[in-house]
């Protein structure tokens, strides 16, 4: 059970990779054991418990089984937070994600179920638990900005609209998944050279969702909602791709928006390494080496 003075932080997808590194860094903060109660979200309970052992089983870290692609699991985790941890959160870090180089109908459905719809449902269930002046951090990716840059002008205009709604994003996502399934993605992203379109498209939607959620929630409890790119980090998600940076740096990028005073951040914006990023930008990466790496790992 948490005390009213404890800072309660949930990190999803935290049994490995960037999420795990984020919890390690939270534990290194001064007075962490007395001030922070950290929930280590993991789809698989055993892997979460193994991660806890790797951390040294600190008394203020608890494993929370949470599969963000399953509403049943999300509801169960929400009830566990209410029953065991005081029913309150100060910071929610939506880090859980999946990726694939394959762009098939099944892959599209699976990726969007976790990376977009899953986060939307998690936030719906957990926002009522966020305390006054809390924070919601949606871990997105710069590839989402690259994907938006390669979409048609009409779709870009919709995604960038200041009056965009969740229902409109859902419609754009539905059209994207349909285009993947019918192999007509060129009508949405003509001449794109990007790899893993399902993953990048899911992050386009998530960054846009963040802006909508920020408008919806900031007035209710003065909650800050932002999205973050952790950078291209060496994790299982990308098969430890060439040129990737340590996941600890990705954790730093996330924790910047957790620890920085609210006055120095803008609600609904997209950050990496302490700097605000545009919603849409051209790809700056040499994709040839990544294509070869993907083929080698296939």
Which active-site residues does the annotation give?
199
> Residue 261 in 3-state DSSP?
coil
Contact yes or no for 225/136 (Cβ under 8 A)? yes
* Number of CB atoms found within 10 A of residue 298's CB: 8
Handedness of CA 163, 168, 170, 176 (dihedral sign): negative
What CA dihedral angle connects 41, 47, 52 and 56, to 10 degrees? -160
The Cα 201–Cα 252 span in angstroms is 24
What is residue 69's DSSP assignment? T
Residue 94's beta-bridge partner residues?
138
Q: What is the DSSP string of 132-200?
A: EEEEEEEE--HHHHHHHHHS-HHHHHHHH-TT--HHHHHHHHHHHHHHHHTT-GGGTSTT---S-HHHH
* Number of CB atoms found within 10 A of residue 236's CB: 10
Contact yes or no for 196/219 (Cβ under 8 A)? no
């Amino acid at each position: 059970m948490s005390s009213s003075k404890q800072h309660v932080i949930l990190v999803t997808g935290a049994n490995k990779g960037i999420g795990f590194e984020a919890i390690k860094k939270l534990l290194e903060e001064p007075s962490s054991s007395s001030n922070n109660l950290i929930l280590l979200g993991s789809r698989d309970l055993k892997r979460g418990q193994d991660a806890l052992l790797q951390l040294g089983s600190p008394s203020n870290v608890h494993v929370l089984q949470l599969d963000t692609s399953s509403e049943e699991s999300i509801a169960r985790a929400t009830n566990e937070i209410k029953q065991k941890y005081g029913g309150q959160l100060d910071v929610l870090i939506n880090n859980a994600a999946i990726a694939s180089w394959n762009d098939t109908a099944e892959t599209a459905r699976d990726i969007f179920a976790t990376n977009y719809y899953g986060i939307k449902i998690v936030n719906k269930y957990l926002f009522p638990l966020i305390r006054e002046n809390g924070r919601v951090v949606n871990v997105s990716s710069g590839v989402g900005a690259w994907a938006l840059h390669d979409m048609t002008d009409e779709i870009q205009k919709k995604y960038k609209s200041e009056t965009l709604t969740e229902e409109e994003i859902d419609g754009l996502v539905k059209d994207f998944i349909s285009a993947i399934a019918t192999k007509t993605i060129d009508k949405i992203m003509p001449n794109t050279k990007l790899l893993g379109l399902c993953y990048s498209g899911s992050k386009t939607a998530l960054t846009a969702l963040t802006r909508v959620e920020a408008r919806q929630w900031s007035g209710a409890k003065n909650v800050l909602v932002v999205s973050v790119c952790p950078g291209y980090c060496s994790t299982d998600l990308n098969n430890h791709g060439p040129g990737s940076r340590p996941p600890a740096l990705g954790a730093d990028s996330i924790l910047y928006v957790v620890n920085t005073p609210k006055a120095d951040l803008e609600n609904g914006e997209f950050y990496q390494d302490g700097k605000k990023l545009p919603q849409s930008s051209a790809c700056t990466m040499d994709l040839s080496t990544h294509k070869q790496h993907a083929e080698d790992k296939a």
